[in-house]
Amino acid sequence: MNWLYDFTYLTQSIHESLSRNFEQGTVVLIEMILVGLAFMILFALLGLVLVYAERKVSAFFQQRLGPMRVGKWGTAQTLADVIKLLMKEPLINKNADKFLFNLAPYIIMITAFMTMAALPFAKGLQALDFDIGLLYISAVSSLGVVGILLAGWSSDNKYSLIGALRSGAQVISYELSVGLSLLTIVILTGSLQLSVIVESQANGWWIFKGHIPAVIAFIIFLIASTAETNRGPFDLAEAESELTAGFHTEYSGMKFAFFFLAEFANMFIVSALGATVFLGGWMPFHIGGWEVFNNIMDYIPPIFWFFGKVSFIIFLMMWFRWTFPRLRIDQLLTLEWKYLLPINLMNILVMAFLVLMGWYF
């Protein structure tokens, strides 16, 4: 069971056994294919689990049962949906720009995959550990908006165009707040490398060690990342009652399914980022001096800690969706530019002052 606590042994032994049997170039190729397969499987599983969780959670918030028919407690519902979507006729509008229309789902999925590459899942379980990890993630994840704008523009549908432009204005505005709230913690860590950020939280998570500025930064991060992934109450891009389905109104079948999957994958990515930077990533929960308690916490494998924290943030985001009514576009932009951005800048100054004085743990 040792490999569950430190994945470096597992990856090392796979690498060694491959090196014994193949040449250098072949080994690299096989490892790349293995990593690719692992991420594709992870993606498919995330889609299956998160769509089911979203439907169940929203059902329970409305005192319904949600999907119950397919499989025990409706657990096979998402699988049935995938098969249904696979069998749907792919439609393209007659005036649509066919090349851009087909390109949009590719762009959205590629950015989701490339962002996920840098996430630290557990000790030694990280595909690419850049020394500029945080900058890389915020840079690549912002490319997704290009796919949304392409989808809305090429559909030749007024609803799609409005949805895409709203989404564009919203995503780029809230990206500022996501970046700045993460930078508040970077002042403390002194590094952008995600594995270093996680290691620096071995004796306590930054949300506890960083005092009030860290808590404010975490709240801003939650609001801004909910908006950045186009989820309710910031789902103006696909406001059903006004715009049918926003930027993906014209998409059907599997292409629609990929937009849907990418939305959930992005939700996972921002939650994982929040968990890594604020809640200690795969680090267990420790209280200074309580040796017995800390040992019990260490007994739970890091990967469960990581996915537990991520599920907690995802649950918070689902909770937001069913608690707050949808904002108007002017309220949305006011919230970002007149409230979150000035608060964020002040918060960074306060954090810098705390670091200067050494008033943190």
> HEC profile for 130-164?
CCCHHHHHHHHHCCHHHHHHHHHHHCCCHHHHHHH
Residues counted in the chain: 361
Closest CA to 165 of 175, 177, 152: 152
- Note whether 41 binds other proteins by CB under 8 A: no
User: For 355, how many CA atoms within 13 A lie in the half-sphere containing its CB?
Assistant: 17
Task: Retrieve residue 331's tokens.
Answer: 């309220």
Pick 4 or 169: Cβ nearer other proteins: 169
Residue 197 contacts residue 243 (beta carbons within 8 Å): no
In angstroms, give the least distance from the CB of 62 to other proteins: 27
User: d(Cα 40, Cα 341) in Å, to the nearest integer?
Assistant: 36
Pick 59 or 103: Cβ nearer other proteins: 103
Stretch that binds other proteins, among 82-90, 199-207, 266-274, 313-321 (CB under 8 A): 82-90
- Note whether 266 binds other proteins by CB under 8 A: no
In angstroms, give the least distance from the CB of 284 to other proteins: 26
Cα-Cα end-to-end distance for the chain: 34
- Note whether 93 binds other proteins by CB under 8 A: yes
In angstroms, give the least distance from the CB of 268 to other proteins: 15
Candidate residues 87, 99, 292, 299; the one interacting with other proteins per rule CB under 8 A? 87
In angstroms, give the least distance from the CB of 1 to other proteins: 26
User: d(Cα 319, Cα 61) in Å, to the nearest integer?
Assistant: 8
- Note whether 30 binds other proteins by CB under 8 A: no
Candidate residues 81, 175, 228, 238; the one interacting with other proteins per rule CB under 8 A? 175
- Upstream peptide bond of 342 is cis (omega within 30 degrees of 0): no
Cα dist from 141 to 114, 175, 176, 210, 270, whole Å: 8, 9, 13, 26, 9
In angstroms, give the least distance from the CB of 152 to other proteins: 10
Stretch that binds other proteins, among 53-61, 282-290, 291-299, 325-333 (CB under 8 A): 325-333
The contact pattern for other proteins, residues 116-155, with x = CB under 8 A and - = no contact, is xx---------xx-x----x-----------------x-x
- Note whether 218 binds other proteins by CB under 8 A: no
